[in-house]
């Protein structure tokens, strides 16, 4: 992290090592320059919210590397006001990396006020370093020059009002491990939750967030090693920096090779046309047993469509937003799901939501949701052996239907099948494979 290998400028390496270190500092400068140009280009393009968390974290890591370069080469002595400016940003880059993964797998998530609690370590450290930041330039220069004489003195020097530099490093490593643990948990949870088609559609994106999290995990291990054994050799201070270079280059190369990453999650394309064309009237009102759907039918009957042909591009974009939410969060598994509830989650007005669904799929709200439920139970029957032992009523409830009769009516209406016919069809297709 910041000022983690001042030793190269102060005689801790022999002549051969010094040559290698001069190459290393040139590499650092080149990577930093590349990272800042990449960041500038990145923010000029419109991207999903998750990637703004990513690029902010990327920028802070690059800035830390740049200050490491300034410290190693001794340039920091000429710019003492930059000293310690990266230290609080390191506390900020940790939650930013976590929010990148969180908003990648949950793009519909709304930012909550309690999320601001993640800023507390950053704010605390800024306040802690306040007295140093307001110190005069000459005094800062003397402090930096004295600290650069001995890395071990620097390692145990105060880095604020309460903790030494080493203690702050330990705190950062602990927080990093916690955030990485939650990142791995998120990845594992959504890999299990998403169906095969969605994972296949977004395999490059999932591969990237796993690789990115793996690199940070490896970085955390190197930092822990550096903190624990720096007293044995100052070379250990270089290990985390080498991995940071690898991380910045990997992110650059990965996004250049796969620019589709910048678009975020892509929903699986579902053909609703057959369901819309083959709607069959169900006996009685098949939705009466599902309170939320009954209300939705009334809302649809009272709904006046917006002007046809208006804002078609916006409607298509909002439908993609809806599809992403339906496929990643699977809200249809809640039998109480209503149009108002879904509209709130995807932040689309309820009236417009029905218009978009009708325009893009030819289905009403309830048919649209029930189509997802039927697709879900078909997928589960194919992939989960336990589902073959469920009763029809259990299958219906597990798929989000309020009762078995509601499932029967919806299945007859959308697929013109009975539950027994659906089960036989799915099993027959599986045996054919």
Specify whether 295 is located in the same domain as 259: no
**Beta carbons within 8 Å of 340's beta carbon, 6+ residues apart:** 299, 350
**Distance from C-alpha of 53 to C-alpha of 336, rounded to nearest angstrom:** 33
Domain presence at residue 1:
no
Specify whether 26 is located in the same domain as 103: yes
Contact at 8 Å (CB) between 11 and 225? no
For residue 384, count CB atoms less than 10 angstroms from its CB and return exposed for 0-12, middle for 13-18, buried for 19 or more.
Answer: exposed
pLDDT confidence of residue 70: 82
pLDDT confidence of residue 301: 42
Domain presence at residue 296:
yes
**Distance from C-alpha of 23 to C-alpha of 28, rounded to nearest angstrom:** 9
Q: Which residue has the higher pLDDT, 158 or 28?
A: 28
Domain presence at residue 393:
yes
pTM over 0.75: yes
Specify whether 132 is located in the same domain as 189: yes
Confidence of residue 10 (pLDDT cuts 50, 70, 90): very low
Domain presence at residue 399:
yes
Task: Write down the H helix ranges in 156-202.
Answer: 165-193, 196-201
**Distance from C-alpha of 324 to C-alpha of 198, rounded to nearest angstrom:** 10
Torsion sign over Cα 25, 57, 120, 170: negative
Confidence of residue 287 (pLDDT cuts 50, 70, 90): very low
Neighbours of 359 (CB within 10 A): 16
Contact at 8 Å (CB) between 193 and 200? no
Contact at 8 Å (CB) between 53 and 105? no
Contact at 8 Å (CB) between 409 and 284? yes
**Beta partners for residue 158, in sequence order:** 164
Average pLDDT over residues 183-203: 91
Which three-class secondary structure state does DSSP give residue 371? helix
pLDDT confidence of residue 95: 95
pLDDT per position as a tens digit, 43-56? 666 678 888 899 99
Q: Which of 2-6, 83-87, 188-192, 341-345 has the lowest mean pLDDT?
A: 2-6
Q: Which residues of 9-48 are buried (b: 16+ CB within 10 A; e: fewer)?
A: beebbeeeeeeebeebbeebeebbeebeebbeebeeeeeb
Confidence of residue 282 (pLDDT cuts 50, 70, 90): low
Domain presence at residue 268:
no
| pLDDT of 372 above 90 | yes
Show which of 245, 263, 281 is a domain's final residue: 263
For residue 347, count CB atoms less than 10 angstroms from its CB and return exposed for 0-12, middle for 13-18, buried for 19 or more.
Answer: exposed
Output the average pLDDT for the chain.
80
Domain presence at residue 303:
yes
Average pLDDT over residues 283-304: 43
Here the tokens at position 24 are 């290393």
| pLDDT of 278 above 80 | no
How far is C-alpha 80 from the geometric centre of its chain's CA atoms?
36
**Distance from C-alpha of 175 to C-alpha of 83, rounded to nearest angstrom:** 23
pLDDT confidence of residue 1: 43
CATH number at residue 408: 1.10.10.60
Specify whether 213 is located in the same domain as 155: yes
DSSP string, 324-371: HHHHHH-GGGSTT--HHHHHHHHT--HHHHHHHHHHHHS--HHHHHHH
Q: Cα torsion at 65, 66, 67, 71 (round to 10°)? A: 100
Specify whether 277 is located in the same domain as 350: yes
Confidence of residue 110 (pLDDT cuts 50, 70, 90): confident
| pLDDT of 322 above 50 | yes
- Cα distances (Å, whole numbers) of residue 132 to 1, 121, 128, 142, 404: 19, 18, 9, 12, 69
**Distance from C-alpha of 136 to C-alpha of 120, rounded to nearest angstrom:** 27
Show which of 263, 284, 301 is a domain's final residue: 263
Domain presence at residue 95:
yes
Contact at 8 Å (CB) between 339 and 299? yes
Specify whether 183 is located in the same domain as 154: yes
For residue 261, count CB atoms less than 10 angstroms from its CB and return exposed for 0-12, middle for 13-18, buried for 19 or more.
Answer: buried
Specify whether 68 is located in the same domain as 155: yes
Average pLDDT over residues 66-71: 81
**Beta partners for residue 164, in sequence order:** 158
| pLDDT of 9 above 70 | no
**Distance from C-alpha of 154 to C-alpha of 171, rounded to nearest angstrom:** 17
**Distance from C-alpha of 238 to C-alpha of 226, rounded to nearest angstrom:** 8
The count of structural domains within the chain is 2
Specify whether 45 is located in the same domain as 106: yes
Q: Which residues of 294-323 are buried (b: 16+ CB within 10 A; e: fewer)?
A: bebbebbeebeeeeeeeeeeebeebbebbb
pLDDT per position as a tens digit, 392-409? 899 999 999 988 888 999
Which three-class secondary structure state does DSSP give residue 135? coil
List the domain range (segments joined by +) for residue 294: 273-432
pLDDT confidence of residue 5: 36
| pLDDT of 162 above 80 | no
* Percentage helix, strand, coil for the chain under 3-state DSSP, each rounded to 5: 75, 0, 25
Specify whether 209 is located in the same domain as 290: no
Show which of 263, 283, 302 is a domain's final residue: 263
Q: Which residue has the higher pLDDT, 23 or 286?
A: 23
Here the tokens at position 67 are 């200050």
Q: Which of 134-138, 139-143, 236-240, 261-265 has the lowest mean pLDDT?
A: 236-240
């Amino acid at each position: 992290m910041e000022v983690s290998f001042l030793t190269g400028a102060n005689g801790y390496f022999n002549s051969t090592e010094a040559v290698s270190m001069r190459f290393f500092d040139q590499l650092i400068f080149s990577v930093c320059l590349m990272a800042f140009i990449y960041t500038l280009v990145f923010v000029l393009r419109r991207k999903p919210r998750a990637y703004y968390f990513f690029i902010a974290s990327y920028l802070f890591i690059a800035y830390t590397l740049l200050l490491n370069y300034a410290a190693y080469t001794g340039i920091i002595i000429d710019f003492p006001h930059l000293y310690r400016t990266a230290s609080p940003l390191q506390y900020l880059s940790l939650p930013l990396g976590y929010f990148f993964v969180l908003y990648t797998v949950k793009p519909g998530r709304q930012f909550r006020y309690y999320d601001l609690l993640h800023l507390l370590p950053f704010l605390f450290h800024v306040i802690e370093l306040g007295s140093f930041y307001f110190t005069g330039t000459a005094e800062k220069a003397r402090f930096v020059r004295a600290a650069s004489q001995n890395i071990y003195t620097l390692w145990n020097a105060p880095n604020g009002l309460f903790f030494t530099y080493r203690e702050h490093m330990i705190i950062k490593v602990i927080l990093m491990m916690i955030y990485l643990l939650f990142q791995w948990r998120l990845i594992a949870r959504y890999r299990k939750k998403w169906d095969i088609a969605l994972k296949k559609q977004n395999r490059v994106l999932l591969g990237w967030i796993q690789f990115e999290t793996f690199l940070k995990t490896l970085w955390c291990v190197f930092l822990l090693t550096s903190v624990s054994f720096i007293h044995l050799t100052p070379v250990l201070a270089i290990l985390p920096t080498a991995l940071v270079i690898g991380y910045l280059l990997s992110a650059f190369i990965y996004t250049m090779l796969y620019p589709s990453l910048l678009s975020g999650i892509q929903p699986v394309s579902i053909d609703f046309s057959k369901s819309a064309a083959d709607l069959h009237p169900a006996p009685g009102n098949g939705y009466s047993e599902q309170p939320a759907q009954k209300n939705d039918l009334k809302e649809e009957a009272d709904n006046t469509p917006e002007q046809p042909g208006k804002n078609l591009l916006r409607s298509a974009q909002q439908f993609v937003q809806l599809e992403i939410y339906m496929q990643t969060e699977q809200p249809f598994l809640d039998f109480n799901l209503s149009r108002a509830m879904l509209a709130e989650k995807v932040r689309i007005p309820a009236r417009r939501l029905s218009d978009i669904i009708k325009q893009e799929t030819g289905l009403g709200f309830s048919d649209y949701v029930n189509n997802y439920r039927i697709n879900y139970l078909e997928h589960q029957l194919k992939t989960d052996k336990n589902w073959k032992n469920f009763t029809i009523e259990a299958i219906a409830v597990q798929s989000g239907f309020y009762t078995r009769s509601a499932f029967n009516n919806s299945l007859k209406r959308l697929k013109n099948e009975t539950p027994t016919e659906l089960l036989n069809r799915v099993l027959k297709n599986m045996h054919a494979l």
